[in-house]
């Protein structure tokens, strides 16, 4: 457990694991029954991706339940608490557009991640569609939903720069992916009558933080909840 290097499988697996967990927190709290089904569906897809990716890096349960916070390699974006539904949708939008672009690229490459990416990209395009449709509805819905959606987009903007920090061992045209991401997000927000956030996409402290094991305060609390039962019974099987 101590010799964890930043393998691409670990970085991408942690993204999927942590976002899946956050979406799982919505169970029983969604604004409408159809969204109970949709959010759980996305969470399950991501958990499936996480299990495949983490298994490429080691034992899935050891990696999920026995690492300390500083050993997780996920983006800070995905660990951010759910907030209101608009905040969750903003996080889904930023992440799913990024993930689809990256997986599209990886699916055609010859790495060990290609088969997973080829399968996951279908799921991810559904996740992106879900986030886009809700961004349009909330942006161009009522005054209240517009305000909330804009607030969610603005609040999470400072975590988006990290999406395109190069990941060691992962060959991807990061700058071009970033440009494409910005083009897509800009066009969508315009259709949704929303404004592209103007602030910096990274803070002094957060540049590339998640990938180096540097996380935000809410993450430790999330892990405490996630890992507690497993760690309370060392060596037990479930």
Partner 1 sequence: MTTIAPEEPALEAVFDATVAADERIEPRDWMPDAYRSTLVRQIAQHAHSEIIGMQPEANWITRAPSLRRKAILMAKVQDEAGHGLYLYSAAETLGTSRDELLDKLHTGRQKYSSIFNYPTLTWADVGAIGWLVDGAAITNQVPLCRCSYGPYARAMVRICKEESFHQRQGYELLMALSRGTEAQHAMAQDAVNRWWWPSLMMFGPPDDESAHSAQSMAWKIKRHSNDELRQRFVDICVPQAEALGLTLPDPDLTWNEERGHFDFGPIDWAEFWDVLKGNGPCNEQRISRRRRAHEDGAWVREAAAAHAAKHGKADR
Contacts with partner 1 by CB under 8 A lie at 17, 21, 24-25, 27-37, 40-41, 43-44, 47-48, 50-51, 54, 60-61, 64-65, 84-85, 133, 136-138, 140-142, 144-145, 148, 225-226, 228-230, 233, 235-238
- Closer to partner 1 by CB, 112 or 129: give it: 129
Tell me which residue of 163, 152, 143 sits closest to 76, measured CA to CA. 163
Of the two residues 137 and 158, which places its CB atom closer to partner 1 in the complex?
Answer: 137
Q: What is the Cβ-side half-sphere exposure of residue 232, based on CA atoms within 13 angstroms?
A: 6
Nearer Cβ to partner 1, position 89 or 163? Answer: 89
| Least Å from the CB of residue 83 to partner 1 | 11
CB of 108 to partner 1, least distance (A): 28
Other C-beta atoms within 10 Å of 187: how many?
11
| Distance (Å) of CA 198 to CA 114, 155, 201 | 35, 11, 9
Closest distance between partner 1 and the C-beta of residue 176, in Å?
33
A 10 A CB-CB count for 20 gives 20
Contact criterion met (CB below 8 Å) for 11 and 73: yes
Sequence-separated (6 or more) residues with CB below 8 Å from residue 227: 64, 65, 66
Minimum distance from CB of 113 to partner 1 (Å)?
19
Q: Which is nearer to partner 1, 69 or 165 (CB)?
A: 69
């Amino acid at each position: 457990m101590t010799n964890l290097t930043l393998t691409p499988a670990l970085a991408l697996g942690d993204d999927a694991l942590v976002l899946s967990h956050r979406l799982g927190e919505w169970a029983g709290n969604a604004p409408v029954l159809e969204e109970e089904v949709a959010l759980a569906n996305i969470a399950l897809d991501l958990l499936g991706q996480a299990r495949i990716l983490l298994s490429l890096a080691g034992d899935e349960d050891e990696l999920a339940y026995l690492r300390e916070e500083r050993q997780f390699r996920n983006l800070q974006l995905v660990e951010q608490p759910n907030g209101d539904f608009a905040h969750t949708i903003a996080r889904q939008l930023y992440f799913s557009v990024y993930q689809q672009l990256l997986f599209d690229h990886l699916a055609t490459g010859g790495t060990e991640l290609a088969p997973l990416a080829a399968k996951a990209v279908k799921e991810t395009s559904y996740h992106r569609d879900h986030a886009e449709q809700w961004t349009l509805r909330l942006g161009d819905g009522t005054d209240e939903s517009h305000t909330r959606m804009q607030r969610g987009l603005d609040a999470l903007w400072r975590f988006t720069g990290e999406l395109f920090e190069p990941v060691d061992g992962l060959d991807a045209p990061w700058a071009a992916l970033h440009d494409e991401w910005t083009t897509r997000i800009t066009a969508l927000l315009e259709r949704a009558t929303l404004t592209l956030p103007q602030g910096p996409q990274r803070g002094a402290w957060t540049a590339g933080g998640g990938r180096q094991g540097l996380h935000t305060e809410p993450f430790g609390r999330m892990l405490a909840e996630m890992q507690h039962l497993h760690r309370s019974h060392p060596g037990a099987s479930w």
